[in-house]
Each structure stands twice: as C-alpha cells, then as structure tokens.
Amino acid sequence: MRGLNHITFAVSDLDKSCFFYETLLGLRPVAKLKHCAYFLAGNIWLALVLDAVVAKSSRNDYTHVAFDCGTEEFAGLKEKLLAFGCRQWSVNQSEGNSFYFTDPDGHKLEIHVGNLQSRLNAIRENQDATIYDSELFQQPVATKIPAILEFDPDKPAFIEPAKVLKRLENMPENCVICFFNDVIASLEKQGRLELITQLKSEIGFNPVYLIKGLAKPVALLHPGVGAPLAAGFIEEAIALGASRFVACGGAGSLAASHQVGKLIVPTFAIRDEGTSYHYLSHEEKAVPTNAALNAALNAVIATLKARGVDYERAGTWTTDGIYRETRKKIEDRKKMGCSCVEMEAAALFAVAKFRNIEMAQILYAGDDLSGEFWDSRNWHNRTDIRESLLELAIEACLKI
C-alpha cells in the first residue's frame, strides 16, 4: 500500500457537480468526458462518474470525505456553500474549524482547517490516546509534500535584492540577456559596449554593459548558465532598474525538421527545474509574463516578421539535468508541445511574472536530440547565427 489513489463519487448531473466542485470548492479540473470528470484536490485525484442509480438519500453514519481548507478561506467558503444551498449534516466537535455539508447528490463532505499533526497535538494529553511512531509525527508539517512545492508568495524575502543593491540612475529599463559570452566579448572588442557595473558571484565578476549607438539606452548582460544563477542575476538587474527584457540563447532541438539556427520563440516552458517553484506555485504555468498582452513577446514577433526571419512559436522544456534527458522524457515533452530543451526559460518567465516585469526569449536550434543518437552539430561555433540572434534581440528590445 503506497497511499490513497483516488476518490470516486457517483453523480446524477455531471455538469452541476463539475460546477460545484470546481467553482464552489475550487478543485482543479483535469479532464472531462461525457460520463465522468477528473479533478485534483491538492494531490488527491477525485473522480465524478455519471450514474443513473445514485442513491436518493445519504448514509446516516459519520462516513464522509474532508477537504483541506486554509484559515483565511474558511469563513468565505462556508458562506458560499450555505448560499448555494448545501445542507449542513453535522456540527464540529473536534480540533480545528470544520463545516460539514453535502454536495448536490447528498455525498457527505467537510472542509477542515488543520492537519494530522494538529489533531495529534490536540489528543496527545488524552489518556485513551495511543500515538504510534511519534518521531515521524513530530516532523514538520511541511514534509507532507515535497519542499519544492511549498510556494510562499510572501514579500519581501529574507534577502531582498532591492534592499541589497542600490538602484543605478544610469541603468536602462530595457535590457538584453545574452547567453553567448563569445559574442559579448566580440562586441566589447569592437568598442560597442560601455561598462555600467559588475555583478558578482563565486564564479567571479559579471559585467553589465550599455550598448552604445542605439536610439535609446539598452543594457546587456550574460546571466550565467542554469536556472538558479540566471534567476539570481536577473533579480539583481531588476533591482538595479531594468524592467523590460529580451533574452536570446541556444537550445537542444527535439524536432528532426530543425536545422541549426532555426529560431524558436517559447510561448511556455515546462518546469523541470527547481528555481521557478520559488516564484510560482506548482499549479501555475511559466509563460512570457502575460502571453496575450506581453509587450516583450509582441516586440520579438514584430521584429522577426519585419526581418522576414523564419521562426516557430512552441513550448520549451527547461531542465536542470542535462545528463538526465532520457528518451522517454524527450518523447513526453514533444507530446506536450515542446520543440526544444534548455536550462533557464522557465525560471526567467517565473521571475518576470513574480516581479511584474516584461520578459520574452528567442532561442536557436543548436544540438539535436531528435534522432537515435545525440548530435552536437558543432552548435557552439556557429558565431554567425549567434551574432545575428543578438542583433535581433537588441532590435526587439528597442521596440518595448
């Protein structure tokens, strides 16, 4: 026995029950067919199945299903349920706030504020209570789910970038993020860059430049490699005064049709890294700020169209584990709409959404993961593609 797999309720009106569980209780819809629907209640799968012989009356005993509810949401949710006409079938006589009610088919339910740990604490002094494996239950309540899923939206954080770094008067609001250190070095050698400041980490100094000779100020920086470092440097750039970003980088291609240099504009990122989960709850999608209204994304698309550049809008797979990109995962990500894989996009999008700033990205297809064997295609040495991509990113950034 590995745990509770799912709960199924027979229902007489699938649409009415779906409305009840989604709109009133706030469960997350997963799938709907003609005869059934699936929801997630936290990590528990709830199935609603249309049944012609649903019982007309509820059981008379205490058997019921309880849903977890936060202290802040309890009163409002209880009021909504009563307003909907839910029947209260019991009163609370135990630890923690509870409201006992029935769904449209009479299934006995409860919303409860508390958890197993708080219940054990409440009964610990009871002489009739026997608590087994007490060391396990003395673990923090947070261990009931993986720590990476414990999203806390609280601001400010213990170390808040804006409190650590002073805003720079000469820091442009528009900023290009470039993952090509060789191209940045070439621009510096040509005299096209002016040093604004230097960020620092244990790998050394990371310069932030002003790109000279443009119609308006645009900054340029390399964010490092990998989601944690990139997110950290973007946080610091935001603290310095940047708020509109266009990123350019390379990615592994998952599509056999991609030639080296094929441009991909990510419209979403599959979050297979850790950093984004500190900025967005696990239920949220990592997308370019606001895909429908995003000025950065629109600027990227407008630039590519104006230049007549062939590009593809698709999802990207962001992973921390470059040596754990298995064949099964590759096939699964392709089915999810991803045409490439890289290490930062999900984190960049998550930081942008959390900080309410503009962020879009352009990637070029580099190495190939679509065949039987990995093919590097010498993608790191395609300087012509990388230089052209940076120029497109700069042009797009000027449009924001």
Q: What is the pLDDT of residues 187-212, one digit of tens each?
A: 999 999 999 999 998 989 999 999 99
Distance between CA atoms of 154 and 62, rounded to whole angstroms? Answer: 38
Q: Are residues 85 and 193 in the same domain?
A: no
- Report the 10 Å Cβ neighbour count for 74: 17
Residue 138, domain member (yes or no)? no
Position 144 scores a pLDDT of: 58
Position 94 scores a pLDDT of: 87
Residue 63, domain member (yes or no)? yes
CA 153 to chain centre: 13
* Mean pLDDT over the full length of the chain: 91
Per-residue pLDDT tens for 377-399?
998 888 999 999 999 999 999 99
Position 182 scores a pLDDT of: 95
Residue 25, domain member (yes or no)? yes
The 3-state DSSP class for residue 122 equals helix
Token couple for 159: 């170390």
Distance between CA atoms of 399 and 300, rounded to whole angstroms? Answer: 8
**Exposed/middle/buried for residue 173 (C-beta within 10 Å: 0-12, 13-18, 19+):** middle
pLDDT-derived band of residue 142, with 50, 70 and 90 as boundaries?
Answer: very low
Contact between 230 and 377 under an 8 Å Cβ cutoff? The reply is: no
Q: Which residue has the higher pLDDT, 314 or 127?
A: 314
CA 157 to chain centre: 19
Give the CA-trace dihedral at 350, 353, 359, 361, to 10 degrees. 30
- Please, what's the b/e burial string for 106-143 (b: 16 or more CB within 10 A of its CB; e: otherwise)? ebbbbbbbbeeeeeeeeeeeeeeeeeeeeeeeeeeeee
pTM for the predicted model, two decimal places: 0.66
Active site residues: 110
Q: Are residues 109 and 167 in the same domain?
A: no
Q: Are residues 83 and 186 in the same domain?
A: no
**Exposed/middle/buried for residue 313 (C-beta within 10 Å: 0-12, 13-18, 19+):** middle
Per-residue pLDDT tens for 85-116?
999 999 998 899 999 999 999 999 999 999 88
- The domain spanning residue 318 has which CATH number? 3.40.50.1580
Position 298 scores a pLDDT of: 92
In percent, the amount of the chain with pLDDT more than 70 equals: 96
Residue 309, domain member (yes or no)? yes
Residue 22, domain member (yes or no)? yes
Residue 108, domain member (yes or no)? yes
Per-residue pLDDT tens for 6-49?
999 999 999 999 999 999 999 999 999 999 999 999 888 999 99
Segment 322-348 shows an average pLDDT of 96
pLDDT surpassing 50 at residue 128: yes
Instruction: Show the domain range for 211.
Output: 161-399
Contact between 294 and 342 under an 8 Å Cβ cutoff? The reply is: no
Parallel/antiparallel/unpaired status of strands 193-201 and 204-211: antiparallel
- The domain spanning residue 106 has which CATH number? 3.10.180.10
Position 302 scores a pLDDT of: 95
Q: Which residue has the higher pLDDT, 235 or 119?
A: 235
Residue 123, domain member (yes or no)? no
Q: Are residues 224 and 338 in the same domain?
A: yes
First to last CA, the chain: 55
Residue 209, domain member (yes or no)? yes
**Exposed/middle/buried for residue 161 (C-beta within 10 Å: 0-12, 13-18, 19+):** middle
Show which of 81, 98, 114 is a domain's final residue. Answer: 114
pLDDT surpassing 80 at residue 56: no
